[in-house]
Amino acid sequence: MSDTPVKQQSTAAFYGQAVASFAVAMAATAIGILRLDADAWVRGFLGIAVLYLVTSAFTLAKVIRDRQEAGQIVSRVDQARLEKLLAEHDPFEKL
């Protein structure tokens, strides 16, 4: 393989912004649920629903990332096979 793609890394600012955004969203949701004028079981149900939604979102993001990384690996293997075939091919060889 002649050119190896560079692994993309997030900047520290992007990582910090993502963490801060997640923390603000969770805090705002928790405050909203706690201040809701409803019975405790309703607030408990909403709290469990939010936690389930968050874990499902993390799982979905991981599955999508894993599928993308697997596709890149297959693509690199196919590219290496093609380069090997082209390197071994002699166009002047008699059939």
pLDDT one-digit tens code per residue, 54-87: 999 999 999 998 888 877 776 777 777 888 887 8
Q: What is the DSSP string of 79-93?
A: HHHHHHHHHH--TTS
Question: Which residues, 6 or more positions from 47, have their beta carbon under 8 angstroms from its beta carbon?
Answer: 30, 33
User: For the chain, how far is it from start to end, CA to CA, in angstroms?
Assistant: 28
Give the pair of three-digit tokens for residue 9: 């890394």
pLDDT one-digit tens code per residue, 37-60: 999 999 999 999 999 999 999 999
22: Cα within 13 Å, side-chain hemisphere: 11
User: Considering only CA atoms, which of 84, 64, 82 is closest in space to residue 74?
Assistant: 82
Q: Is the pLDDT of residue 6 over 60?
A: no
